[in-house]
Chains A and B, each alone.
Chain A
Amino acid sequence: MKKLISLILATILLLSISCVTAHAEDSQVYEGSASTTITYRVQSSYCILIPEYIDADCGQYTFQADYLNVANGERVFVVVSNVDENGRILFTHDNGENTLKKNIVTSGDTDVPQYCVGCFYGEDTNSKISFCVGEENYEADYLKAGNYSATVEFSVYLGN
């Protein structure tokens, strides 16, 4: 019995030694000192400035970022998520009654998702694309004189 226990202990001891040797292979030993690589990932973060509301007469909108810290190859996209099936957003008159719909028209980088109105990458805090609302009115029952504005939901995400 004692011999058996001794044999098991000896085997465990041998296995332990070989494990230590295996870990040592990860490091480079040079003149008594060792080096190893430690990785640390800083997460991408950003702060995008969106308009309080979209005014049909405000012309071109170009989004800006308050700050931007994204990895190489990553882009921050801003996409309008509450467009209808025809890509139009609903504008409401100041009186709260009359409505009309308009298209979103974008210019700039074409390699972006559908209904994308903002695109950021690198260290430039200006969007690479701009947008405005189209001249054409759709589904307008009666064009009552006055101001029309829309509240939009923007979807913001990191992509490639």
Chain B
Amino acid sequence: MKSKKLIIVLIIIIILLLIFGAAEVLRTHRTDNESLIKDDNATPWNGEQSLPRAARAQGDVIAIPGFDELVFIERQKEQAVNFYNPEGNDCLFLMTLFVNEKQVWKSGYVAPGNGYYQIELADELSKGQYSGVLRIQCFKSDGSELNSAKVNFNLIVIER
């Protein structure tokens, strides 16, 4: 009976020793982690910053011819112009002429190296000075739209 009690006490002591041993191992492991040195160069994270980008090659260019003045003849629809799509371009021009912001003429799709020497206005103009705009819309042959331009100029309508 006495030896039974002794065995039970020994088992309890062993279990307690195991528990204390496991607790010591865990404590030691935690201490090792806390001993790692943190990098002071790291800063608080506030979301991504914008990084330098490798620039891609710029695409092709479109030649847009411009002028400062155009002279029309009064009271006639047929007018002489030099509206064209320069030879080296790789796109089609769709040109629209505005006089004082009112559309008076529109072209079809003009291929490079082609243009107009004579146009027919929607309305006759009377003598005077006007604000002229030639809007040039540019398209690839597949129909995709490219950048466009508005050429601003003085329009002078003189007597016949």
Check if A135 sits within 8 Å of B50, measured CB to CB. yes
Q: How far is the CA of A39 from the CA of B69 in the complex (A)?
A: 17
A55-B58, A58-B56 known; A44+B152 contact, CB < 8 A: no
Closest-CB distance, B22 to chain A (whole angstroms): 50
Closest A residue by C-beta to B150: A155
Closest-CB distance, B44 to chain A (whole angstroms): 22
In this assembly, does B61 line the interface, its C-beta being within 8 Å of a C-beta of chain A? yes
Check if B69 sits within 8 Å of A153, measured CB to CB. no
Check if A50 sits within 8 Å of B64, measured CB to CB. yes
Interface set, chain A 2-59, CB cutoff 8 A to B: 43-55, 57-59
Q: How far is the CA of A53 from the CA of B148 in the complex (A)?
A: 9
Q: Chain B interface (Cβ within 8 Å of chain A)?
A: 50, 53-69, 86, 91, 138, 145-153
Q: How far is the CA of A67 from the CA of B147 in the complex (A)?
A: 20
Name the contact of B62 in the complex, choosing from A52, A54, A59, A61 (C-beta under 8 A): A52
Q: Chain A interface (Cβ within 8 Å of chain B)?
A: 43-55, 57-59, 61, 64, 66, 70, 74, 76, 81, 135, 151-158
Q: How far is the CA of A54 from the CA of B62 in the complex (A)?
A: 12
Which 3 A/B pairs are nearest by Cβ-Cβ distance?
A59-B55, A157-B152, A49-B61
Check if A50 sits within 8 Å of B147, measured CB to CB. yes
A153-B148, A155-B149, A156-B150 known; A49+B63 contact, CB < 8 A: yes
A153-B149, A156-B149 known; A52+B59 contact, CB < 8 A: yes
